[in-house]
Structure 1
Amino acid sequence: MKISVYTCCNNAIENEFTLFEGMIQALKFCDEFVYVDGGSIDGTLEKMKEFAEKDERIKIYENPWEKRMHKAMTMIQKNVALSHCSGDWCFLMDADEVYSDNFCLMIRKLLEDIGNSFTGIYIPTYHFYGRFDVICLKDPFLGHEYYKGKIYGIRNGLGIHHGNADGDHDGFVDNDDVSLKRENTYVLQDFGYVCHFGHARSNEMYLIKKNDIERRYHIGWSDLEEWDFEKILKEKPDCFRKVDISLIPTIMMKRVIETVNEKGFVVHDKVLSYYQLFF
């Protein structure tokens, strides 16, 4: 059985994405890692090529990001990446996500056990917010709940691809644009999850991200002038939950320490103590 992991990105370094950590983590369980670059100008593509020179499992493709189709391009790029996958199973990994340690250890055995009984794999998601010991349950400004998980893995060769089913650009559909049915999906419950770090960036970078995304998806959005994670955590405590630091994949330990030292992230002392055991 062959497992592919695929992703797409623009300027991972500039945007503080966890692309490289996520890829290194994925290579612990996959036979092929497919990356589509949309035109990075910050050194991301060059660094990915350096990785590919050392590991033949890494496949790199380039597909220009069309700004005039900005809202649809994420879905388009994911489908380009998926089209290059040759695995029996294909797993999405967004550029700001990292699979958990236990997922990497157990996913191959699970896929062997379930065989062809399912067409997709639903995986729980933790959205880390501002710091590495807090997850977000709902948007502190717009009030909607964050998704608790989604379908990340699909069986290849069935015509399943990313489609705009139910308004979800991450949703999977078949060739008739019918959304992948939940009853055909295996739901991970006992092990494995995905860590989403898109909200765990510096205040400066997250302010840019927040305004950019909300402008695209919410008509009438008024740009925020500043962003302070710690202030928001105190003002909207019902939107967040403290979690055990052991949820974070160990591949992230270097970034945790660096962001505390260089970018002023706030992390509880015991977080650093935990990681300094390994780093």
Structure 2
Amino acid sequence: MRVSGFTFLRNGTMLGYPYIESLQSLLQVCDEVVVAIGKSEDDTLERVRAINDPRIRIIETVWNEGMEQRGFVYAQQKMIAQFNCTGDWAFYLEGDEVIHEDDAPKIRAIMEQHFKDPEIEGIAFDYHHFYGCPDLVARSPAWYRQELRIIRNTIRSFAPDGLFWVVMDKNKRGRYARAALAHCPIYHYGHVRSSEKMQEKHRQVAKYWSHAPKPHDYSQIDASILQPFTGSHPSILKSWLRDMAETQFVADQNYQLNKREKRHRILMKIEAITGLDLTKKHFTCVKK
């Protein structure tokens, strides 16, 4: 069994991503890691090269600046990287996602376990979405609790956006991948980078979603969805959390809920009563 890791990056340093740590965590489980690096205004390319691991393969790309619909340029870059993967499994991490060193053997083992089972087309992970500071996680139907991050690299699949895959059984119709659960989390740090870096990220990416950049303010959130994080962070994140993470977060106690957040509060009450998970899934779970 051969495992490929892959991702895409551009201006990773400028935008405050823990992308070096993300790549290093992928190297714990992968036989190769393919990185599509768009032409950047910072040292992203040089820093990835400096990892100096022969398993890393860099593909230099140029983004389509005219693609402004629903972030599809991210799907394009994701697929450039995936199409260059040579493994039986393809493991995708975004530049702000990291796996814990304690989970690396488990992840490799579950791919081994399902390697010869064609019914299992992917592996889905639980998620820790850190928000505002490294000590808080966001939990509500607005934040996906599970997502597919490993896809069998021998089936016809493509990404309609940067988040998920569609499997093509037939030429005219796609479906979500059939997946097993990894029973371990992805650690997502995109919403704890410094406010300054987050504001720059909003400025740069807005055009790819056909809207004007909005001022960023971590305090503007429904504080009821934030819960203390009681686990341990990946050790590889120690320096990044100390030097790059936001530390001054305080939720605005006078924040006014919008319609979407009010709806999510209702869904959370239903979840508490029924035990159901009402978050959207971009995969079909066939083995828990």
TM-score band (shorter)? 0.7 to 0.9
Q: 1:109 is aligned with what amino acid?
A: A
2:230 aligned partner: 244
- Matched residues in 2 for 1:114 and 1:83: separation? 22
Pick closer, same or farther for the CA change 1:74–1:153 going to 2, 3 Å: same
Q: Are 2:72 and 2:208, in contact at CA under 8 Å, matched by a contact in 1?
A: no
Q: Secondary structure at the match of 2:11?
A: coil
- Matched residues in 2 for 1:136 and 1:40: separation? 31
Higher strand share: 2
Q: Secondary structure at the match of 1:174?
A: strand
Q: 2:167 is aligned with what amino acid?
A: D
Q: Secondary structure at the match of 1:124?
A: strand
TM-score of the two chains, using structure 2 as the length reference = 0.77
Q: What percentage of residue pairs aligned between the two structures are identical? A: 25
1:208 aligned partner: 200
Pick closer, same or farther for the CA change 1:113–1:245 going to 2, 3 Å: closer
Which of 184, 195, 216 is residue 187 of structure 2 equivalent to? Answer: 195
2:165 aligned partner: 172
Deviation at 1:202, TM superposition (A): 1.0
- Matched residues in 2 for 1:198 and 1:131: separation? 11
Higher helix share: 1
**Matches of residues 82-121 of structure 1 in structure 2 within 5 Å?**
82-117=82-117, 118-121=120-123
Q: 1:223 is aligned with what amino acid?
A: K
- Deviation per residue, 1:90-132 (Å, 9 max, x gap): 1001011111223212112222122232111111111111210
TM-score of the two chains, using structure 1 as the length reference = 0.79
Structure 2, unmatched stretches of 5+, are 251-288
- Matched residues in 2 for 1:124 and 1:90: separation? 18
- Matched residues in 2 for 1:41 and 1:68: separation? 18
1:28 aligned partner: 28
Q: Are 2:202 and 2:213, in contact at CA under 8 Å, matched by a contact in 1?
A: no
Q: Are 1:11 and 1:42, in contact at CA under 8 Å, matched by a contact in 2?
A: yes
- Matched residues in 1 for 2:162 and 2:237: separation? 27
Q: Are 1:36 and 1:77, in contact at CA under 8 Å, matched by a contact in 2?
A: yes
1:151 aligned partner: 148
Deviation at 1:264, TM superposition (A): 4.8
Structure 1, unmatched stretches of 5+, are 139-143, 268-279
Pick closer, same or farther for the CA change 1:109–1:101 going to 2, 3 Å: same
Superposed CA RMSD: 2.4
Q: Secondary structure at the match of 1:34?
A: strand
Q: 1:66 is aligned with what amino acid?
A: N
Q: Secondary structure at the match of 1:91?
A: strand
1:223 aligned partner: 214
Whether 2:180 is the aligned partner of 1:186: answer yes
Q: Secondary structure at the match of 1:77?
A: helix
Q: Secondary structure at the match of 1:116?
A: coil
Pick closer, same or farther for the CA change 1:113–1:203 going to 2, 3 Å: same
Q: Secondary structure at the match of 1:206?
A: helix
- Deviation per residue, 1:132-189 (Å, 9 max, x gap): 0111225xxxxx6111121100111212221x2xxx54221123351224xx211223
Q: Secondary structure at the match of 1:95?
A: coil
